[in-house]
Amino acid sequence: MKQIDGAITAPKGFKAAGVRCGIKENGLDLALIYSDRQCAVGGVFTTNAFKAASVVRNMDKLKVGWGRAIVVNSGNANACTGEQGLKDVDSICKFAGELLNAPPDEVYNASTGIIGVPLPMDKLESGVREAVDALSQDGGEDASLAIMTTDTRPKTAACEIQTGGKTVRIGGMCKGAGMICPSMATMLCFITTDAAIDADVLQACLKSSVDRSFHCLTVDGDMSTNDSVILMANGASGAGKIVDGSPE
């Protein structure tokens, strides 16, 4: 494994953007991750009994296991917002899907920030439109800044491995500071790869990795309603499909 420059857009076929839509008082606050082709998707989420609207909807979408994009906002968690929160997630995924020519069920959503306040949908829709126009292979840095809340710096990484004569890349970004206890807390993590892998194998690999990483952390013993780790694999590397952790 070799560490490389880049983050969420290091793998082939992925673009990202980070823009300001005005949810936070200052700074970038909306990120968009997009694949130019359908992805297998895996996810691990909070075990809190009170789950944010985005978590509820993402868990439903994982039953199908496909995706193309993730819309992430900071500054508002869309948690404890009832039926309206669920409707707002559906609305933003539909809106982004129309702009990206992707089915709404293939658009995932994540939020972080204050709890109990409805999403400002006019600001979000304006931000999504701007983010779609700004999508770029160089947009990973802005995306990592846009998901921050109390973090003091962005957290990104990328690497590549050789398999079957092909290069496979993995990229990621994460936010989280304080309120970290076992089983994740106030944490969002997004990972992309151009490996070819079925959704069920991807899910098993992700869960195993999270059990040995984020699930081992504690800071102050509190949990969050929004914890999410989402992994997208689009197969753009051209390498053989990974089966049970090994290429075919």
Would you please indicate which residues are annotated as catalytic (active-site) residues?
Answer: 186
CA distance 131 to 71: 9
3-state secondary structure of 159: strand
- Residue ranges of alpha helices (H) inside 62-177 are 82-100, 121-134, 140-146
Contacts of 212 (CB under 8 A, 6+ apart): none
Spatial contact of 189 and 217, defined as CB atoms under 8 Å apart: no
- Return the closest-CA partner of residue 225 out of 89, 53, 61: 53
Sign of CA dihedral 60, 211, 157, 226: positive
User: What's the CA gap between 16 and 19, in Å, rounded?
Assistant: 10
Instruction: Tell me if 94 sits within 8 A of 104, measured CB to CB.
Output: yes
